Amino acid sequence: MASQQALSTALGAVDLSDSHTSPTAAQRALQLPEIISVLFENIFRYGPEDWAEIIPDDDEDRQDYFNAWDDLTSCSLVNRIWHVEAKRLLVIEPMEEPMEVFAPNGLSGTITNIPESRRQFYARYIKDANLWSVSDEEIGKINELLSGLEFTRLKYLRIFIDHDHRLPRINAPNLEALHLDPRREYYPDYWAVTQDGFELIMNEVVNVFKHVPAIEFWDQCVAYPGAIERFKDRMPPTLKLDHDEVLETNDNMW
């Protein structure tokens, strides 16, 4: 009810179809992003899901249900200012959340679904993302997809590694942490990254992510003895490396 009332009132307040009428104070106020953002954030305070509110009534309290997504979508059609503010809540801020873990190819899958002319617009808002390692046959296609895009706000990148060992090239100059997540299963016993694969992955990290100040392995993998020290020698001395999940051994794990 509150959002619907605000919407209907505001729609009337910003009706400037009569060009001979001077804007009222309410009309001028509802053209200010600072005010519109507060109004829209109140409408969207529970996110895009339906929500309910108890409305006091003289006779009997009632419960009204709202859909903030529908309300903000309607708001976005009023004028350019309203469109920009609504888009921030409906599209841009969700892009700032971590990419869905099991979304196809993570970030690259998301970028694929965005028109090429708009990809950089959205790329600049992403702070946290997931990617998957890819095969030799796929790496060219993925690198071409990400080529020319600059993810200036991307701080945390998680790369899931299965049986493929190529890491996509991504231009993220302000990346603060790279999380490598090799697949490790127990039932049945399975190691996605063993000694030779570890060497390939570390070569990829050196070539693509040498500027990243912190790298952490999130699951178990196997490396040859001394592999970690050899990798650290190829990286800047300031690198913070969490390799507790890396088992150095010559033994076969399969």
Q: Identify which of 190, 131, 121 has the alpha carbon closest to the alpha carbon of residue 159.
A: 131
Q: Which of 63, 95, 127 is the last residue of a domain?
A: 95
Q: What is the pLDDT of residues 148-168, one digit of tens each?
A: 999 998 999 999 998 889 999
Instruction: With respect to residue 210, please indicate whether it lies within any of the assigned structural domains.
Output: yes
Instruction: With respect to residue 4, please indicate whether it lies within any of the assigned structural domains.
Output: no
Q: Which of 43, 69, 95 is the last residue of a domain?
A: 95
Q: What pLDDT is recorded for position 242?
A: 97
Instruction: With respect to residue 245, please indicate whether it lies within any of the assigned structural domains.
Output: yes
CATH number of 134's domain = 3.80.10
Per-residue burial over 9-34, b = 16 or more CB atoms within 10 Å of its CB, e = otherwise: ebeebbeeeeeeeeeeeebeebbeee
Q: What pLDDT is recorded for position 36?
A: 83
Q: Which domain holds residue 57?
A: 25-95
pLDDT of 201 above 90: yes
Q: Do residues 153 and 36 share a domain? A: no
Q: Which of 60, 95, 130 is the last residue of a domain?
A: 95
Q: Do residues 173 and 241 share a domain? A: yes
Instruction: With respect to residue 17, please indicate whether it lies within any of the assigned structural domains.
Output: no
Instruction: With respect to residue 228, please indicate whether it lies within any of the assigned structural domains.
Output: yes
pLDDT of 17 above 60: no
Which phi and psi (to 5°) does residue 51 adopt?
Answer: -145, 160
Q: What pLDDT is recorded for position 205?
A: 97
Q: What pLDDT is recorded for position 1?
A: 44
The residue ranking higher by pLDDT, 62 or 163, is 163
Provide the H-helix boundaries in the chain: 2-13, 25-29, 33-43, 68-75, 80-87, 93-96, 107-112, 119-123, 136-146, 195-208, 227-234
| Domain total of the chain | 2
Max mean pLDDT range (55-59, 108-112, 201-205): 201-205
Residue range 89-95: mean pLDDT, rounded: 62
pLDDT of 57 above 80: no
Q: What pLDDT is recorded for position 126?
A: 84
